[in-house]
Structure 1
Amino acid sequence: MDTSNRTAITVEATVNAPVAKVWQYWNEPQHITNWAFASDDWHAPHAENDLRVNGAFKTTMAAKDESMAFDFEGVYTDVEDQKLIAYGMADGRKVSIYFEDNGNHTRITQTFDAEESMPVEVQQSGWQAILNNFKKYVEAN
């Protein structure tokens, strides 16, 4: 699948926590299941993560009413401890996540290739909602 002409979408958040904590909560399955969904009527009942180049991850995202579920998964192409995570998804789209250490704050910048079946604004809104949910979870714990 040709991904060279895909639109890149960026979402960002500043988390009020040191980068070590942000990195841990982003990558450990017991934390991923607490934030990897865009709204309160969804949840993430399962997550697995092998954080290394060529390692795979999979997070199940599901509606709480059991009407819909899907696995969000990919393979890591680059990992720099507490700085960068990059991966490819099964459909060829690429994602990069940068973690900027600002002492007691961490800036997360996530850029991903848009899929062609959904409006860019909808995709940006959904990924931003998940990132906002992550921020909320980290800051509350």
Structure 2
Amino acid sequence: MNKSNEMDSKTITIQRTFNAPIALVWEAWTQSEHIAEWWSPKGIQTKVVEHDFKVGGKWKYLMPMPNGQEFTAEGEYAEIVEMEKIVSSANFKPMTEGVEIQALFQANGDKTDFTFHVVHPTEEYKIQQEKMGIMNGWGSVFDRLAELLKNM
């Protein structure tokens, strides 16, 4: 298997077009006060504990779950290209650990084409995450982002 096929077999990709200019979408992704409004499924409030938006900077968000447990999302920024790309390690404890997330932004007139990759260590882990509902989880989060962008 070549390297491209191997990456594809370990990657979940979600694509959206947001009805907002790229600068606004970038702001929503990079500023703590906005992240707190959308970085969780509907009905759950995100608490931004740490957000050092630079290469090598760490981020950590907490979300209280309906069962009283706390869901922790954290990682470290590996690559940032302004208005274009954010790459980070990511752990979503207790459900997903050791993945890389890639958020890619492309201007499309007054809209923004968005591609989101979740790269897993193995194809088996990716398949397990698909069965657990990763597409629905991130879909809900990006629905919240779309709603926030309407009001920014």
Q: Same fold (TM over 0.5)?
A: yes
Which of 105, 116, 120 is the matching residue for 1:110?
116
2: CA distance between counterparts of 1:32 and 1:97?
14
Task: Give the deviation of 1:57 after TM superposition.
Answer: 1.0
Question: Within 5 A, what are the aligned runs for 1:1-141?
Answer: 7-40=10-43, 42-63=44-65, 65=66, 67-90=68-91, 91-114=97-120, 116=125, 118-121=128-131, 122-141=133-152
Q: Is the 8 A contact 1:114 1:123 kept in 2?
A: no
Q: Is the 8 A contact 2:21 2:111 kept in 1?
A: yes
1: CA distance between counterparts of 2:22 and 2:50?
21
Task: Give the deviation of 1:54 after TM superposition.
Answer: 0.8
CA deviations over 1:21-69 (Å, ceiling 9, x no partner)? 11111111111111111122x1113343212111111111223x56121
Identity %: 24
Task: Give the deviation of 1:103 after TM superposition.
Answer: 2.5
TM-score (norm: length of structure 1): 0.84
1: CA distance between counterparts of 2:49 and 2:83?
20
Whichever residue aligns with residue 46 of structure 1, its letter is: V
Pair 1:31–1:101, CA change in 2 (3 A): same
2: CA distance between counterparts of 1:106 and 1:135?
11
Task: Give the deviation of 1:119 after TM superposition.
Answer: 4.0
Q: Is the 8 A contact 1:50 1:57 kept in 2?
A: yes
2: CA distance between counterparts of 1:66 and 1:45?
17
How many residue pairs were aligned?
136
**Cα root mean square deviation, aligned:** 2.2
For 2:46, what is the secondary structure of its paired residue?
A: strand
Task: Give the deviation of 1:130 after TM superposition.
Answer: 0.7
For 2:98, what is the secondary structure of its paired residue?
A: coil
Q: Is the 8 A contact 1:95 1:112 kept in 2?
A: yes
2: CA distance between counterparts of 1:119 and 1:109?
18
2: CA distance between counterparts of 1:10 and 1:104?
23
Bigger Cα displacement from structure 2, 72-81 vs 130-139: 130-139
